[in-house]
């Protein structure tokens, strides 16, 4: 089963476009987990168990693991996902971008070591920096296109022959890089009109959409702008808003996370039809 097939099946099985981002910051954990040597793995597994019927994908952000010397805990979390929830794809958010020989190493890291179904990659170094990921024909490469951060427009909005750079990237990926249907694009939720322009350029290609929740994107506008004809086509990511949900009185962190995940999934579903 390819990444795209697995993602499509998860959209249906959980009736969800919600991608849960795993950005574990130990300082924000409940106190009892801050002291554990495998606190990151415990925290993420608890979040996963609380949301596994609500998510279409999990997206661990590798920077958090790398900063905390926690690669082995990331391995453990990915192994847990593959074993217990094999129908939900793992997107390793690593935004890799390097020459071919080095990209081969990064592909091994993402797909062999962590067993990810897809990895985020940066387009700046061009096709041969993305091709090594596509050699893994059952996996996906999710290419940065239009990002939701303030500085995103510094380069992505530069005028290339009459239209912004990010649209060239979308076109390039759709027309040339996506030979085997393995590509997707990262397009932020903070600019729904741009999301709609990308959707118009790339057909049914899946879009990974950060910027909901802590980053403040509007769910209705995002879903309407980015969905495909059949009301799917997106992994709408929320990380911090779910992981560090403000609990009600007497509610533990997994219950709070589940409540926010459920609300977010349902808010998204309201605008899919």
List interacting residues with a second copy (CB under 8 A). Answer: 23, 61, 63-64, 66-67, 69, 71, 95-103, 105-106, 108-109, 112-113, 122-131, 144, 147-156, 158-161, 165, 168-169, 172
**Based on CB atoms, which residue is closest to a second copy, 50 or 144?**
144
Report the alpha-carbon distance of residue 208 to residue 187 in Å, rounded.
6
- Length of the chain, please? 273
**Based on CB atoms, which residue is closest to a second copy, 128 or 266?**
128
Rounded to the nearest whole angstrom, what is the least distance from the CB of residue 24 to a second copy in the complex? Answer: 10
**DSSP-based three-state secondary structure for 24:** coil
Residue 137: how many CA atoms within 13 Å on its side-chain side?
2
**DSSP-based three-state secondary structure for 93:** strand
Rounded to the nearest whole angstrom, what is the least distance from the CB of residue 229 to a second copy in the complex? Answer: 30
Rounded to the nearest whole angstrom, what is the least distance from the CB of residue 13 to a second copy in the complex? Answer: 29
SS (H, E, C) 145-158: EECCCCCHHHHHCC
Rounded to the nearest whole angstrom, what is the least distance from the CB of residue 115 to a second copy in the complex? Answer: 13
Taking CA 83 as the corner, what is the angle to CA 230 and CA 264, rounded to the nearest 5 degrees? 40
Percent of residues in the chain assigned helix, strand, coil, to nearest 5: 50, 15, 35
Report the alpha-carbon distance of residue 57 to residue 144 in Å, rounded.
18
**Based on CB atoms, which residue is closest to a second copy, 1 or 66?**
66
Single out the catalytic residue among 95, 224, 227, 255: 95
Rounded to the nearest whole angstrom, what is the least distance from the CB of residue 225 to a second copy in the complex? Answer: 21
DSSP character at residue 158? S
Q: What are the structure tokens assigned to 200, written together? A: 């118009």
**Based on CB atoms, which residue is closest to a second copy, 109 or 138?**
109
Report the alpha-carbon distance of residue 174 to residue 210 in Å, rounded.
20
**Based on CB atoms, which residue is closest to a second copy, 147 or 254?**
147
Q: What are the structure tokens assigned to 248, written together? A: 């009600």
Q: What are the structure tokens assigned to 263, written together? A: 């609300």
Q: Is 246 one of the annotated active-site residues of the chain?
A: no
Catalytic residues: 95
């Amino acid at each position: 089963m390819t990444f795209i097939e697995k993602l499509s099946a998860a959209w249906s099985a959980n009736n969800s476009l919600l991608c849960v981002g795993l950005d574990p910051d130990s300082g924000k954990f409940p106190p009892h987990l801050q002291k554990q040597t495998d606190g990151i793995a415990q925290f993420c597994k608890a979040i996963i168990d609380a949301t596994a019927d609500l998510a279409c994908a999990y997206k661990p952000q590798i920077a958090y693991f790398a900063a905390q010397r926690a690669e082995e805990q990331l391995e453990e979390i990915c192994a847990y996902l593959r074993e217990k929830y094999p129908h939900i794809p793992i997107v390793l958010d690593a935004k890799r971008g390097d020459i071919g020989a080095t990209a081969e190493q990064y592909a091994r890291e993402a797909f062999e070591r962590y067993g990810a179904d897809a990895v985020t990659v940066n387009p700046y170094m061009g096709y041969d920096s993305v091709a090594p990921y596509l050699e893994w024909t059952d996996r996906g490469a999710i290419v940065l296109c239009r990002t939701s951060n303030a500085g995103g427009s510094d380069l992505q909005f530069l005028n290339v022959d009459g239209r912004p750079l990010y649209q060239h990237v979308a076109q390039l990926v759709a027309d040339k890089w996506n030979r085997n249907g393995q590509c997707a694009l990262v397009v932020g939720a903070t600019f729904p009109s741009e999301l709609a322009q990308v959707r118009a350029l790339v057909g049914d290609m899946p879009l990974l959409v950060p910027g909901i929740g802590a980053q403040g994107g509007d769910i209705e506008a995002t879903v309407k702008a980015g969905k495909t004809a059949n009301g799917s086509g997106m992994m709408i990511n929320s990380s911090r808003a779910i992981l560090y949900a403000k609990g009600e009185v007497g509610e533990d962190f997994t219950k709070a996370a589940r409540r926010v995940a459920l609300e977010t999934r349902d808010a998204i579903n309201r605008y899919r039809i």
